[in-house]
Amino acid sequence: MADLEVVLGFKLSPERTGKEMFLGGDDRGHAWLTWEPEDWEPFQSHPFTLDIATSEPEVPYVTSLFERLAGLGRYRVILLLDHACVRSTHFPCEEW
């Protein structure tokens, strides 16, 4: 999780909500990392969800996060905006 915290620019701490969740934030934005496995794709192979809230323009902020996460070469990342696939490192957004 350390590399994710570097990309986000803040620490994620465990939250006791009954499910596995980590929270963090700064003056630019907040993030919620949750473990939400499902039985269907793409969620079956993408069991973690990173939700972001920001006070900055949303698209440039999340696009920058996507590019930095993808640049690590460690994660398979899908960028969703309003439940629509915008970019993916490996999944055809047309199939979303």
Give the per-residue pLDDT at 66: 96
For residues 90 and 76, is the Cβ–Cβ distance under 8 A?
yes
State the pLDDT confidence band at 69, using cuts at 50, 70 and 90.
very high
Q: How many DSSP H helices and E strands does the chain contain? A: 2, 6
Q: How far apart are the first and last CA of the chain?
A: 27
SS3 at position 3: helix
Model pLDDT for residues 14-63, shown as the tens digit of each residue? 987 766 899 999 999 999 999 888 887 777 777 888 999 999 999 999 99
Q: How many folded domains does the chain comprise?
A: 1
* Segments forming the whole domain that contains residue 62: 2-95
Task: Say what the pTM is.
Answer: 0.83
On the question of pLDDT at 65 being above 70, the answer is: yes
Backbone dihedral region for residue 9 (phi beyond 0: left; psi -120 to 50: alpha; all else: beta):
left
SS3 at position 45: coil
CA–CA distance, 6 with 16 (Å, rounded to integer): 23
Give the per-residue pLDDT at 16: 78
